[in-house]
Amino acid sequence: MYTLGLEGTAHTISASVLDEEKIYSLASMTYSPEQGGINPREAAEFHFKNIKGIIERALRESGIGMDKIGLISFSRGPGLPPSLKIVATAARALSIKYNIPIVGVNHPLGHIEIGRRETGAVDPVMLYVSGGNTQIIAYRNGKYRVFGETLDIGIGNLLDKVARQMGFPFPGGPAIERLALNGGKLLQLPYTVRGMDTAFSGMYTACVDLMKKGERNEDICMSLQEYAFSMLVETLERAIFTTGKKSILLAGGVARNKRLREMIKIMADEAGVEVFETPDKYCMDNGAMIGQAGILTFKARGGDNLEDTAIDQFYRIDQAFASWVQIDERKYENRGAESDITYEKFHSFDAVKKARIPKGYRLKELDHAIRKARMRREITMLYRLSQANVPVPEIFAVDVENASFSMERIEGVQLSMMIEPDMGIGEKLGRAVGKMHSSSLCHGDLTMNNILVADNEIVIIDPSMGNPSGNIQDFAYDMRLLRESVNATIHDGNRFMSHVEKAYRETFHDAGRVLEEVKNIEARRRYV
């Protein structure tokens, strides 16, 4: 079945003709402003002027006429509404004129499916990094889910903004990459990771401050890449161990950065997983990726009714239909994303020794600082949680220099391994989190992997990213991360979370404010 794929979510207008066996053509044009970032109105005008010519070129180069096209796929969202409207209107007009079925495609779904098609990846964790998007996506419980993302600006947006401050045109990523090659001094920048989420706006502000202080652009660019990419690789590795996937897929324009690819390859070798790199011409937004996702969608459930093809600038990938993925997972024994676990005796007690693993993808100076800080934070938080009567393992001994410590061994199972836990476990979890927040303690990485169930009781572990003086927003990030982890793992996640939140409200007097802030965070999430 020949398919015409149309992409136009942001700066690129693209069309492609393909079928299940071959991509016959790919025609693209990119709006590039003379200064500043993307102007949505100007981008839409660019698309309007060029879409007819792009479609004609794709058809001409493929040698396939509209009379042979069996499906029209278009990017429905997420994206810039003015740009989305141009492509959606063209797609609907062609569908009506030629009586061809139509499918509205989720943009990130296109990236992951063209990557799977071109690389042979089966069931990967995808790192999707572009101007407006920074997401970690994997297939779980019947659909693609966002396991981590930016909490403010996309990584590509960060690079563009810093480059613009240095006088370089859009897009700024290539200039940052080029200057970084001549950097030699690691400058301190914010390192903001919350579970599998990242935040970059503070890093932009810090880079501007360094420019004002007279630091070399080369050193700023090198430091920016080392910090920002280390955050991405750390959260990607955490997603690998959380989901149990065997492979990584890279997609999006920023995925073309050689230093980022090098860091991911080092991490993957250490974790024992395979890396698939989407070919450069399909890393950028393109019509072939929309066509591929459209083919899979149409074969699985048929086309859309015209009234169901309205654009959606906030269209989430976990709202998109995707029933065709074959699961390819494994279990990682006695190993987390950041630590090795060994069993030992501490005098007469059964103990666990936790050693933070040096990361080869990070510069040694940065890696050493992060590992020691995380270990100190975990020990502090475990002590504070214990004082607050939150169930946690007891600490036995500490080795600061080697970033390791020994603690009580808990014979239990990770909550992430319990697909259908008892709802009473949810209530106990809600009370434990309520006690934690009542004592102004924020866990920082409250996922199902960091919750043990032992003798039908809850035990909280690994608060190494926690905050011993948390606030409402910190608590909201805890609850948001927990909710997403639950929904990605448990079959009836919403019902389980209702029990968690009920007990949380009963235990913590400010629970209502926290859960309201969770809604605010979700409303401002960055997808475009």
Q: Residue 524's closest CA among 197, 139, 284, 128?
A: 197
Alpha carbons 13 and 51: distance in angstroms, whole number: 7
Residue 262 has a CB neighbour count (10 Å cut-off) of 12
Question: Who's near 454: CB < 8 A, 6+ residues apart?
Answer: 410, 411, 412, 413
**CA–CA dist 409, 394 (Å, integer):** 9
Q: Look at residues 285, 298, 320, 280 and name the one whose alpha carbon lies nearest to residue 84.
A: 285
Distance CA 393, CA 129 (A): 37
Helical spans, DSSP H, in 401-510:
423-438, 472-489, 493-507
Rounded Cα distance, 6 and 29, in Å = 12
Asked if residue 218 lies in contact with residue 179, where contact means CB atoms within 8 angstroms, the answer is: yes
DSSP 8-state symbol, 141 = T
DSSP 8-class letter at 326: P
The angle at the Cα of 416, spanning 415 to 417, to the nearest 5 degrees, equals: 90
- For residues 511 and 437, give the distance between their C-alpha atoms in angstroms, rounded to a whole number: 9
Q: Is 104 left (phi over 0), alpha (psi -120 to 50) or beta?
A: beta
Spatial strand order of the sheet with 274-277 comes to 143-149, 134-140, 125-129, 247-251, 274-277
For the beta sheet containing 457-460, the strands, ordered from the edge strand earlier in sequence to the opposite edge, are 413-414, 451-454, 457-460
Q: Give the chain's radius of gyration (CA, Å).
A: 24
DSSP-assigned beta bridge partners for residue 399: 404
- Measured CA to CA, the distance from residue 207 to residue 215 in angstroms comes to 9
What are the structure tokens assigned to 305, written together?
Answer: 């009714």
* Size (the chain), residues: 528
Name the residues annotated as catalytic. Answer: 445
Burial code (b: 16+ CB inside 10 Å, e: under 16) for 346-355 equals beeeebbbbb
Q: Is 396 left (phi over 0), alpha (psi -120 to 50) or beta?
A: alpha
